[in-house]
Amino acid sequence: MLRFLTAGESHGPALTVVVDGLPAGVPVSREAIDADLRRRQGGYGRGGRMQIETDSAEITAGVRHGLTLGSPVSLLVRNRDHENWRDVMSPEPQPDAARERRRLRYPRPGHADLAGALKYGTDDLRNVLERASARETTARVAAGALARSLLRETGIEVRSHVLRIGTVALPATVSASWDELSRVETSAVRCIDPATGDAMTAEIDRVKKDGDSVGGVVEVVARGVPPGLGSFAQWDRRLDGRIAQALMSIHAVKAVALGAGFAGGETRGSAFHDEILWSAGAGIERPTNRAGGLEGGVSNGQEIRAAAVVKPIPTLLMALRSVDLQTRQPQSASVERSDTCVVPAAGVVAEAMLALVLADALLEKTGGDSLSELKAHLEATRSGQRALAGPLDQR
């Protein structure tokens, strides 16, 4: 229902995203999109590139006077750094010197360099890394801001926080409350606990001093999600699978867990499943949420909670062993200007991806060419659900 495609190279003129399927009447503000872009650029451990860029989205289609038209929405984010790369990244043919100046021949272990070179048959790794770079997530976050705007109109909100950076982690027993999640915006590492946050920044400092990189774990949470999004009727309609795919598609994400996730492999059923209770005031209640708001691939009305493991980024000042693709001689891997830790930023990207999946699943459930039609359909669904299970109010 809701589709999006991104285009753009890391040092090209701009990133573009086209979002198709938004109903008419959804409020869109450039400020709200830019606020999310700024959050993606932040986080302790980012490198020099983020100081050059001040990302801002130009709305080039699909919005009139602050509201979507129902037509595809197109957003453009210019790369300021392109000024320094004009000839190297020019779409027009250039003298060989321009290509040679920034040619990369030593693939970085863990990046797309080698696999991409083999895939496209090129010995200039620049042709690979320019698109493989996570600069692309800027376009995803811009698209996610549109999805978020639609969700907000129906009472659905998405937040994220950092659970772990390297060896420093929140205790596994801590489940961040919605209020705690709102406070991470003032934390340099987007951590709900200031003392753990300080330990995380110290961990990043240590790693940076060694010329190394460090990964971690983020959790993304959505509340207000109505029961009944997704379906168990077909494998590719399961919402759990769609969320996992969306999060796994983020650069450097290597594992995704829904709810209690991997703990399910070491827990008895009686201690794992969320019991179903009834009270006269609240109707159906669930005392726990180890399922992360998803049962049978369908949202069950509880908060949706998903965690993603972010690996340490591959560009290292203490470069790993690699090979010169031209001479076949041993070489240290290429070093591009790089971040040390991208875990907080990955959380913001995860919010965008979750928002896009939820907006898609919501539109699938409700249909509607306009926001008012969508809201009317959703209210009809909700009133049927209330008749069956009570208020179903998760706040």
State the Cα–Cα distance between residues 50 and 287, nearest whole angstrom.
43
Nearer to ligand FMN by C-beta: 132 or 142?
Answer: 132
Q: Which of 2, 19, 112, 378 binds ligand FMN (CB under 6 A)?
A: 112
CB of 274 to ligand FMN, least distance (A): 31
CB of 265 to ligand FMN, least distance (A): 24
End-to-end CA distance of the chain: give it in Å, rounded. 28
Q: Which stretch, 58-66, 106-114, 261-269, 325-333, contacts ligand FMN (CB under 6 A)? A: 106-114
Residue 360's SS3 state is: helix
Q: Which of 13, 47, 241, 264 binds ligand FMN (CB under 6 A)?
A: 47
State the Cα–Cα distance between residues 262 and 264, nearest whole angstrom.
5
Position 223: which residue type?
R
CB atoms within 10 A of CB 78: 18
Residue 357's SS3 state is: helix
State the Cα–Cα distance between residues 367 and 363, nearest whole angstrom.
5
CB of 44 to ligand FMN, least distance (A): 13
CB of 253 to ligand FMN, least distance (A): 6
Q: Which among 191, 195, 185 has a CA at the least distance from the CA of 164? A: 191
Q: Which among 181, 134, 143 has a CA at the least distance from the CA of 162? A: 181
Kindly report the backbone phi and psi dihedral angles of residue 94, in degrees, each rounded to the nearest multiple of 5, phi listed first: -130, 160
State the Cα–Cα distance between residues 57 and 35, nearest whole angstrom.
10
Q: Which of 117, 132, 147, 359 binds ligand FMN (CB under 6 A)?
A: 132
How is residue 248 annotated by DSSP?
A: H
Interface mask (CB under 6 A) for ligand FMN, residues 247-276, using x and -? ---xxx------------------------
| Interaction between residue 362 and ligand FMN (CB under 6 A) | no
Q: 316 and 212 in contact (C-beta within 8 Å)? A: yes
CB of 341 to ligand FMN, least distance (A): 9
For ligand FMN, the binding residues in 330-349 under the rule CB under 6 A are 338-339, 342, 345-346, 349
CB of 47 to ligand FMN, least distance (A): 6
Which secondary-structure segment (H or E) carries 310?
Answer: strand 304-310
Burial label for 191, CB within 10 Å (0-12, 13-18, 19+), is buried
CB of 346 to ligand FMN, least distance (A): 4
Buried b (16+ CB within 10 A) or exposed e, 164-177: bbbebbbeeeeebe
Interface mask (CB under 6 A) for ligand FMN, residues 48-67, using x and -? --------------------
| Interaction between residue 145 and ligand FMN (CB under 6 A) | no
Q: Which of 68, 127, 137, 334 binds ligand FMN (CB under 6 A)?
A: 137
Nearer to ligand FMN by C-beta: 47 or 390?
Answer: 47
CB of 142 to ligand FMN, least distance (A): 14
For ligand FMN, the binding residues in 275-334 under the rule CB under 6 A are 311, 313-315
| Interaction between residue 111 and ligand FMN (CB under 6 A) | yes
Nearer to ligand FMN by C-beta: 48 or 367?
Answer: 48
CB atoms within 10 A of CB 210: 13
Burial label for 330, CB within 10 Å (0-12, 13-18, 19+), is exposed
| Interaction between residue 165 and ligand FMN (CB under 6 A) | no
> Contacts with ligand FMN: how many residues (CB under 6 A)?
21
The residues of the shown chain that bind ligand FMN, judged by CB under 6 A, are 47, 110-112, 132-134, 137, 250-252, 311, 313-315, 338-339, 342, 345-346, 349
